[in-house]
Amino acid sequence: MKKIGLFFGIFVFSLAFYSCTAKINGSLQGNGQADLVITASLEPRITALIGGIAAISGAVPPGSPILNGPEIASSMSASPGIASASFKNINPSSITGQINVSHINEFLAGGKTSGFITFEQPFVNEQKVSGGGRCTINLNLDSGPDILGLISPDASDYLNLLMAPLATGEVLTKTEYIMLVGSVYGRGIADEISKALVSVSIDFPGQVISAKGGTFAGKKVEYNIPLLDLLVLETPLNYEVIWK
């Protein structure tokens, strides 16, 4: 069994980090390449919060997008394992676009993130043989900040603003975090974070026989991940997909 790393971040944590709502559709090929189509949005109260602070600080010129699709694409294109990334703005707080992953064994790999994704399939003399494969992803407070750093400086800035353990490294429970956000920014923003989901649908190279934490049918695996789980990482996120 020859290991080749995977997982173009099965939920593309990259854009999930930015947003309160994200939808990701993609496919993984047997040669390790992957394609993702992503739509991500900030919720209204968080948009107002970030926009207001950015305007006061002068960090973002008036009328500029809160989520800047082309700038995110430029930053991500320089990250390990990404062949190309293209995003456009739907509106100032929403983006849509595509990521093409060329080397999934290198996707967002660096520092503590090395090895947080694993993709295994049987090979003989560099040729894939029958027998299926397995993909795992593990995210915790040690690897999370490194991943943010490989995506875009804005990702860390936004999540530091929201005091998310994913960016700060602080150990909090989900209850403690929501209480903290509510006390600083109000219950409305805390509620937006609590209700937000990251929806993911991925096609794998073969018929899926198990998907820890998700549902599956044929080659497709689907996940609905609470954003709060990603932001706090009270419990490390561990997912595994096996196909034949």
Is residue 104 within 8 A of residue 33, CB to CB? The reply is: yes
Per-residue confidence (pLDDT) for residue 91, from 0 to 100:
87
| Gap between the Cα atoms of 165 and 8, Å rounded | 22
Per-residue confidence (pLDDT) for residue 13, from 0 to 100:
45
- pTM of the predicted protein model: 0.78
Every domain of the chain and the residues it spans: 2-243
Q: Which two structure tokens, joined as six digits, stand for 73?
A: 């694409």
Per-residue confidence (pLDDT) for residue 4, from 0 to 100:
26
Q: How far is CA 211 from the centre of its chain?
A: 18
Q: Return per-residue pLDDT of the chain as tens, 244 residues.
A: 322 223 333 334 445 555 567 888 988 877 777 888 988 888 888 878 777 766 665 556 666 777 788 887 887 787 777 889 899 999 888 889 998 887 666 666 665 556 567 777 765 445 555 668 888 888 888 877 777 666 666 666 777 788 889 888 889 999 999 999 999 999 988 998 898 888 889 999 889 999 998 999 999 999 988 889 988 999 988 888 988 8
CB hemisphere CA count around 55 (13 angstroms): 11
Per-residue confidence (pLDDT) for residue 117, from 0 to 100:
72
Per-residue confidence (pLDDT) for residue 9, from 0 to 100:
38
* DSSP codes of every residue in the chain: -EE----TTTT-HHHHHH-SEEEEEEEE-TTS-EEEEEEEE--HHHHHHHHHHHHHHTSS-TT--SS-HHHHHHHHHTSTTEEEEEEEEEETTEEEEEEEES-GGGTT-SGGGTTSEEEEE-EETTEE-SS-EEEEEEE-TTTHHHHHHHH-HHHHHHHHHTT-HHHH-----HHHHHHHHHHHH-HHHHHHHHH-EEEEEEE-SS-EEEETTSEEETTEEEEEEEHHHHHH-SS-EEEEEEE-
